[in-house]
Each structure stands twice: as structure tokens, then as C-alpha cells.
Structure 1
Amino acid sequence: MQPSPASDRHPSVHDHSVPTRGRPPASGREIRDQPTGGPPSRRTITRVPGRRPEPRRGRPAECEPQVLGVVDGTETADYVAHTATLRGVVRQRLVTRALVEHLPPPPARLLDIGGGNGVQALEFARRGYEVTVCEPDPGMLVEARRALADAPEVVRRRVALVEGDGREAARLVGIGWDATFCHGVIMFVPEPAPLLEVLVEVTRPGGIISVVGKNGPALALRAGLQGRWQDTTAQLGEPTPAASTGSATSTGAAGQPAVIPPGGDDPANVSAILTAAGTRPLARYGIRIFTDHLGDTPPGPDLDAVVDAEWAAGTRDPYRGIARLIHHVHCRLR
């Protein structure tokens, strides 16, 4: 999913362009786009002609998944619009650029948990990968189907859409995936560990786990660069002038951050949970160091140069440490 300018999206109201009469509750069935781009049908996954479908290990009987309460972005329309902004495009380009260095070659099987409107899934389907999106928001799945309708048929056949909670992924889509993505979700769940542990569970040994989350210790940077000084001070955890006469302050002890970020916003915590679940960290990248404060600015003719600069900075410190987002890439050990 792509972060919106507000960086908060609550599940949207069901899009009534999708027929609901007779439709069973969200159960994890594959939702396929019709070749004409019409209403979705529910049927067995169709793969590229001449290729045998990979077995779906561990597939259960249908269940009733609990939908995640919040995911990255605001309303569906805002979220989709954000994917076309400079910030949205930079994020996707950087994530793709990192992953191509770590993924097995196509046609490996990829699972995108919380894959939103399918931007990342489509990118890797175009590259020859078989991608399944597990997304709890029906409105986002409507947008994903619209995007698929514009893709060539051979690309559409490589993408499956599943409605359901990512924490139920093992029951919904099985295990043994070559790589599992979870981009822009963990910072909006109350406790990141259950979701992160599922990512490891559904990935095969030797497979790749890719997680993108907020960089909590550096969240004040955007507000500061935008001149929102009260927000900046609040996010830094500094006492206001009115409170500075008191004996207590909100600053931490020596060497400690003034504000302790939530578990899903703390890159060190995210990495520790993944490692404890049986992974080895391969790389960590910073995303949006120079462009995060630019709001809804559209991409310009210098987009390639912007992405190159962001990439160079995001692969090294001290720049990586002030990025808005951190991209973790881990490998499952066992």
C-alpha cells in the first residue's frame, strides 16, 4: 500500500460497483479480473498457458478473516491519487530497485500482504513473477482490478487478488512463498509482532521477506522541513515553553530518544522481531530522504535523477537514518 499525504487510511466503504448480491463474506477466495475489465468473478486461478500452476501448500477450508482495522493511507481515492505523486512514485521505484537485487528470478511466487491497489504487484507481474495480493479493503481491491484491466492479458494472469486479513495469510493462501511483501502496513497495527511472524511463517526457507515501515525516530523531519514548528517540537518530544518551568521534561535519558516510537514505527524493533522469528537481515534501505516533505508534487522530467539521488542516500548513513520510511529485507533461515 502506498502512504497517503495524511499517512492514515481507514477501511473504505464497500465499492458498490462490485455486485454484492449472493456474494459470500470475505473468505480468501481468489478474485479475478474479467478479460473485459468487467465485474470480478470468483474462480480457480488461471496461469500463463504452458506453465503448470504451483501447488498451494497448506490451503484450508474457507474461513472468516478479521479485517485489519487500519492500513496505510487515507480514503481509497486519496490513496490511489497518492501513488501518482512524486512521493508515491519514488517509494515504489526505490522498493522495486531494492527487491530486484534480492529476489529469486521469475517466475518465482510472490505474496503481497496489504498490497492495496496492486501497484507493486503489477510491477513484478510485468517482470514475469506470479503475484498474489492479500488485501483486507474491498475498495482497494476494486482499484486493483481496474489497474489489472489495463494490463496485457499475460500480466493479468500472473496476478491473483485475495480479500482478507494478512494475519490469516497462512490459512487464506497457504505457505511456501518464494518472497513475501508487507509494505506500509505494520505501522498501523496495534502490535506488529503477530503480522511480522506470519510473514516468516508463510515464506519458504531461503525465501525473502520485505517490510516497509515508518522510521519513528526521524518522523519530526517532515514537519520541520514544511515549517510546522509546533508539530516538529511535539514529535521530538521536547517540552513546550509553558511546560519548561516544571521539574519534569519529556526528553529521555542521555543517549536515548526523547520519544519512544510505537513498535511498528521502530526499525530496530521490526528487525528484532523478524530475526527472532527465524530470519537473517540482508539489507536495510532508507526511503524518501529528500522528497518526503513535498506533499502532492507530481513527478517531473527529472524523476530518474531524483530516484538515483534517493537511492544513493538511502543505502548509506547518515542519510538512511533520517529517511521517512525504512525498507527491511530479510531471508528466512529455517
Structure 2
Amino acid sequence: MIDGVPDYDYVAHTATLRGVVRQRLVTRALREHLPAAPARIVDVGGGTGVQALALARLGYDVTICEPDERMVDEATRAFATAPKEIRDRIRLVQCGAFEVADRVGTGFDATLCHGVIMFVPETEALLRALVRLTRPGGTISIVGKNGPGLALRAGLQGRWRDVLTQLAENGDGAGNGALPPEPVVLGPAPANSADDPSLIRSVLVAEGAEPLAWYGIRTFTDHLADEPPTADLDDIVQAEWVAGTLDPYRQVARLVHLVHRRQP
């Protein structure tokens, strides 16, 4: 969510199996790459504060910046039920991504921007802003849609016309002999005509942020719509985590999670 432009009812989505799996996978990846707590983190477009709460429980100081009033209200309610020592580690500011530096400053140990980039026409400007928010040596974490995997949900749900449309939209460079994108530490970032991880990576690198890792999110569960979490949630998350670190599974995940570090 950014500047009041959601793509679905995100508040309701966070309580579904897909929403819970997404957040738990992101938290697990962050624990692999964030500086040690206590560290200062800014969550740009942080929604209802699920990730902020998870990180505050781990001892991080989190500033969450969210433009949407409903999201801010939901986050405020969620934070109010947390223990005081957790609440004291969270600061909530209502503002858009391009206002963050003016409202809360820069020099953060980590900058998060999850589920936002797909809504911002000024992709390169947003990425540069994220780098500027981050101190040298700090971590930058971005989650966006994975273009090559978009047709998978429609296919598993039997929406064949949607499959054909999405395959056509992502047809450039697919199966036509085009070279794969430049590799990163854990393998090549998948091409994406809508949210191109290769473009994201190249802009971040040009701005002085080296790639550390990338993960796929929701390879096996994305087609389950809005089902609630089930008793085997831990096994589901573990299966998704392993798949999200391996090719070819992460190549067709619904979301892609890219982690970079701003060079000193």
C-alpha cells in the first residue's frame, strides 16, 4: 500500500493463510540479513503493522510509515494490544513513501518496502529514495510481484483466459532464446514486465546497494484465495521457505523478495 492506492482489501488479507505465510516468510528472511537488534528500521508502506510488530518483538526499533488512514487505524489498534515494551519500540507516522525522509529522517539501519513497488509509477525514484533512507552498510528489503509467476495462480484456479492474457503480457524474452538476467548471489533474478526484479536490482546497484539474496514467496499456496490458516501452518511455511530458496520453484512464486545492502 502506498499513497492510498491498494490492490485488494489488505486488512482482511493479512489474516488469511496467504497473508500469514507471506509475513512469516518475510520475517524469516529478514532475520537472515538484518543488523543485530537493537537497530533502527523504517517500514515504508508498512500497512497494518504486522511486520513492524514482529520485528519489535525481536528487539528492533521500528518506524512504520503508511499513508492510508484505514491501515493506520488498524496498526494503531494492533499496537495498543502489545506489551508496553513492544509498543515503546514502534513509531507510527502517516505519510507516503516520498515524504518519509522529511518526516522521520534518514540513516536507518534497515529500510523495508514490502508490497508497495507494484503501485508506484515512479519505480526508479522510489528505489533511490529507499537507498537514501538507509545508512551505509544498512539493509534494503523489497517485496514485489513476480511477473513470470503471475499466470500460475490463474492456471491452478482454472481461469484459462487469464492465463493466456498473463502469458502474453510476459512473453517477451520467455522461450525465445533470450539470455537470462544477470545473476545475483543466490541465482538470477527472474524477469518481470510489470515488476522487473532485474530493473530493481540494476537501479539499486547503480545507487550503491549490492545484492545479497532473493527469495520467492508463495509457490504452493497462492492459488488458495482467502482460506484461513490451517493446523499444519508450520509445515506449510517450512515448505514455502525451502521452495523460496530453490530454483525452479522460486522462479514461479507469486512474490519476489530482494535483499540488498548499501555499500559503505
Q: After TM superposition, is the score higher than 0.5?
A: yes
Amino acid at match of 2:154: A
Cα separation, 1, equivalents of 2:18 and 2:171: 31
Answer yes or no: is the 8 Å Cα contact 2:4–2:67 preserved in 1.
Answer: no
Report how far residue 251 of structure 1 moved. Answer: 5.1
Cα separation, 2, equivalents of 1:169 and 1:117: 17
Amino acid at match of 1:255: G
Give the match for residue 146 of structure 1: 77
Report how far residue 69 of structure 1 moved. Answer: 5.2
TM-score by length of 1: 0.72
Cα separation, 2, equivalents of 1:69 and 1:89: 22
Give the match for residue 193 of structure 2: 261
Structure 1 unaligned regions, length at least 5: 2-66, 239-249
Match of 1:321 among 245, 251, 256: 251
Aligned-pair identity in percent equals: 63
Give the match for residue 188 of structure 2: none
Cα separation, 2, equivalents of 1:131 and 1:252: 40
**What SS is found at the alignment partner of 1:320?**
helix
**What SS is found at the alignment partner of 2:164?**
helix
Count matched residues.
Answer: 251
Give the match for residue 165 of structure 2: 234
Report how far residue 165 of structure 1 moved. Answer: 1.1
Give the match for residue 187 of structure 2: none
Aligned Cα root-mean-square deviation (Å): 1.8
Give the match for residue 332 of structure 1: 262
- Shift in CA distance, 69/145, structure 1 to aligned 2, threshold 3 Å: closer
Structure 2 unaligned regions, length at least 5: 181-190
Report how far residue 273 of structure 1 moved. Answer: 1.2
Cα separation, 2, equivalents of 1:306 and 1:328: 21
Answer yes or no: is the 8 Å Cα contact 2:4–2:68 preserved in 1.
Answer: no
Answer yes or no: is the 8 Å Cα contact 2:154–2:160 preserved in 1.
Answer: yes
- Shift in CA distance, 133/251, structure 1 to aligned 2, threshold 3 Å: closer
- 1:39-83 CA-partner distances (Å, limit 9, x unpaired): xxxxxxxxxxxxxxxxxxxxxxxxxxxx72524x42xxx321211
TM-score by length of 2: 0.91
Amino acid at match of 2:162: D
Give the match for residue 211 of structure 1: 142
- 1:128-181 CA-partner distances (Å, limit 9, x unpaired): 110001111111101100001111111111110111111122111111100000
Cα separation, 2, equivalents of 1:145 and 1:251: 43
Amino acid at match of 2:241: W
The alignment status of 1:306 with 2:236, answered yes or no, reads yes
- 1:102-121 CA-partner distances (Å, limit 9, x unpaired): 11111101000000110000
The alignment status of 1:110 with 2:41, answered yes or no, reads yes
